[in-house]
Amino acid sequence: MRTPSNQPERPGRRRVLASLPAGAVLAGAATAGATTAAARPTGRGRAADKGAGGDFRLGVENLLEPEQLGTLEGEDVGLITNPTGTDSSLRSTIDLLIEAQDEGGFTLTTLYGPEHGVRGAEPAGGEVEDYIDEKTGLPVRSLYGDTQKPTPEMLEDVDTLLFDIQDIGTRFYTYIWTLFYAMEAAAENDKRFVVLDRPNPLGTEVAGFLLDPELSSFVGLKEIPQQHGLTVGELSQLFNGEFLDGGVDLEVIAMSGYDPESPRETGLPWIQPSPNIPNVETAMVYPGTGLIEALNVSEGRGTTTPFLWFGAPFITESQIDQMIADLHGAELPGVLARPMFATPTTSKHEGEFCGGVQLHITDMDAYEPVRTGIHVVATLLRTVEEVDWREGEDCRTEADVCWIDSLSGTKRTRQMLEDGEGAEAIVLAWRREMRRFELTSKRYRIY
Alpha-carbon dihedral sign for residues 44, 175, 158, 25: positive
- 152 versus 31: which is more confidently predicted? 152
Q: Please provide the distance, in angstroms rounded to a whole number, between the alpha carbons at the two ends of the chain.
A: 45
Span 244-264, mean pLDDT? 96
| Structure confidence at residue 45 as a pLDDT band (50, 70, 90) | very low
> Rg of the chain over CA atoms, in angstroms?
22
The answer on pLDDT for 25 being more than 80 is no
Q: How confident is the model at residue 22 (pLDDT cuts 50, 70, 90)?
A: very low
Q: What is the mean pLDDT of residues 400-408?
A: 98
**What is the model's pLDDT at position 127?**
67
CB-based contacts of 86: which residues, under 8 Å, 6+ apart? 60, 92, 93, 271
- The percentage of residues in the chain with a pLDDT greater than 70, rounded to a whole number, is 86
Mean pLDDT within 165-190 = 98
- Three-state DSSP at 300 gives coil
What does pTM read for this prediction? 0.87
Beta strands in 167-223 (DSSP E): 192-196, 207-210
pLDDT at 275 over 60: yes
Give how far Cα 43 sits from Cα of 14, 47, 236, 407, Å. Answer: 37, 6, 20, 34
Confidence of residue 41 (pLDDT cuts 50, 70, 90): very low
pLDDT of residue 126: 64
Longest Cα–Cα distance in the chain: 71
Instruction: Kindly indicate whether the domain formed by 29-273+438-442 is annotated with CATH number 3.40.50.12170.
Output: yes
Residue pair 175/379 in contact by the 8 Å Cβ criterion:
no
Mean pLDDT across 218-223: 97
pLDDT at residue 121, as a whole number: 64
Contact (CB, 8 A) for 42 and 51: yes
Note the pLDDT of residue 129: 78
Model confidence at 42, pLDDT cuts 50, 70, 90, reads: very low
Can you tell me the mean pLDDT for 177-201? 98
Q: Closest Cα to residue 120, out of 273, 252, 231? A: 273
pLDDT tens digits, 150-166: 999 999 999 999 999 99
Q: What is the pLDDT of residue 26?
A: 33
How far, in Å, CA of 393 to CA of 191, rounded? 47
* Residue 125 confidence (pLDDT): 58
Rounded Cα distance, 157 and 150, in Å: 12
> When comparing pLDDT for 19 and 341, which is higher?
341
Instruction: For residue range 409-442, list pLDDT tens digits in order.
Output: 999 999 999 999 999 999 999 998 899 999 999 9
Which secondary structure element, helix H or strand E, spans residue 288, and what is its range? Answer: helix 280-289
- pLDDT tier at 54 (50, 70, 90 boundaries)? low
Q: Does residue 24 contact residue 404 with C-beta atoms inside 8 Å?
A: no
- The reply to whether 29-273+438-442 and 280-410 are identical in fold is no
Report whether pLDDT(311) > 90. yes
- Give the three-state DSSP class for 61: helix
Q: Is 378 helix (H, G, I), strand (E, B) or coil?
A: helix
CA distance 169 to 318: 35
Per-residue model confidence as pLDDT tens digits over 106-120: 999 999 999 888 976
Beta bridge partners of 164: 81
Reported confidence tier of residue 264, pLDDT bands at 50, 70, 90: very high
Q: How many CA atoms lie within 13 A of 226 on its CB side?
A: 30
Is 24's pLDDT higher than 50? no
Domain regions of the chain by residue span? 29-273+438-442, 280-410
Mean pLDDT rounded to a whole number for the chain: 88
d(CA 327, CA 315): 16
Contacts of 240 (CB under 8 A, 6+ apart): 27, 28, 183, 246, 247, 248, 250
Write the class of the CATH domain 280-410. Answer: alpha beta
**Residue closest to 219 by CA, chosen among 185, 156, 255, 170:** 170
Burial label for 327, CB within 10 Å (0-12, 13-18, 19+), is buried
pLDDT in tens, 118-153: 976 666 656 677 889 989 999 999 999 889 999 999
Find the mean pLDDT for residues 1-5.
36
Instruction: Please indicate whether residue 49 or residue 422 has the higher confidence score (pLDDT).
Output: 422
- The per-residue pLDDT for 117 is 84
CA atoms within 13 A on the CB side of 48: 21
